[in-house]
Amino acid sequence: MSDTVYPRQNPYRVGVRGLCPRCGEGHMFQGFLKLRPNCEVCGLDYSYADPADGPAFFAMTFACLPSAFFAVWLEAAHQAPYWAHLFTTLPIMLVTLLPPLRPLKGWLVASQYYHKAAEARLVRPGDDAPKVDWVD
């Protein structure tokens, strides 16, 4: 890691736009949801990032749940045939699920960096404290 000190970035602002959580300039993604190995500007290694199923959980909970309720309502109120669900419910679910995935994943990765989220480790007296590469 270099000795450069970076200003602290707002995880929401940089994460939703898919920018590097350290420098705020480089890109976080290489493709739709695949993270780059590192930032092309500051070299931040993204191997720390593990959002797991967080983006999918949030997208399904807040976006697809209402569209699932729509599907149930459509079936209960109109006894719609399968083709009606295919042309109404499926597109609504895809439109509400796919667009928020990338911003949510970016926000979660940036939040992990901002809060220094990592696996727990035992720190004994006399151990060196982890180096911080930003200033408040």
Task: Name the one residue in this structure whose structure tokens are 């979660």.
Answer: 108
Structure-model confidence comparison of residues 67 and 63, the more confident one: 67
For position 32, what pLDDT does the model report?
94
For position 129, what pLDDT does the model report?
65
Question: Which residues pair with residue 134 across a beta bridge?
Answer: 6
Residue 114 has pLDDT above 90, yes or no: yes
Both tokens of residue 63?
């976006």
Both tokens of residue 125?
């007296």
Q: Which residues of 10-40 are buried (b: 16+ CB within 10 A; e: fewer)?
A: ebeebbbebbbbbbbebebbeeeeebbeebe
Structure-model confidence comparison of residues 89 and 118, the more confident one: 89
Q: Contact 109/28 with Cβ under 8 angstroms?
A: yes
For position 130, what pLDDT does the model report?
63
